[in-house]
Amino acid sequence: MKLERALGLLREVPDFPQPGVVFRDLTPVLADPDALRAVVDALQVHVEPSTQVVAAVESRGFLLGAALGYGWRYGVVPLRKPGKLPAVAHRVSYDLEYGTASLELPEGAITPGQKVVVVDDVLATGGTAAAACELVERAGGVVTGVSVVIELPALGGRAHLAGRQVHALLAV
């Protein structure tokens, strides 16, 4: 399946999670095996060859990150919302386009010097991706890039990731 066809399966859900926000739903892509393969293969193309670990952002990033890790033999580290981990190495709070949130890194999951790509479904305001990069770096990891399926350029997320390699499969 071509990437364009796979990305054509994305669904827009207006006014979710609150009025005025358009949620980009990846579920139809994830549910179609050929579409999922096309998206994961396309994400892989831009991963720095020295990368060892995928830092997968909760929750849709988990699905993409696990597929990427399995397919290309990377380790996968989940970056979780607070209260989900038994041992936390670091926590970072950040702003979303519709509120605030925090991410936590599991203790001992990333070692100093490891090369890590951050993977998520959407780059919006950049807060989540910047927080993910900060978590990796606090643990001593080296961020090799940020890869997402969808970027919302109007929200300016790349500005929070200045100097980083950022790759999006689709900008809307």
**Among all residues, which ones are annotated catalytic?**
60, 97
What one-letter code names the amino acid at 128?
A: T
- For residue 122, with 0-12 CB atoms within 10 Å meaning exposed, 13-18 middle and 19 or more buried, which class applies? buried
Pairing of strands 166-171, 115-123: unpaired
Q: Which residues contact 58 (CB under 8 A, 6 or more apart)?
A: 78, 79, 80, 81, 84, 103
Tokens of 121: 């479904």
DSSP codes of every residue in 22-42: EEEE-HHHHHSHHHHHHHHHH
Report the 10 Å Cβ neighbour count for 88: 14
- Would you say 161 and 129 are in contact if contact means Cβ atoms under 8 Å apart? yes
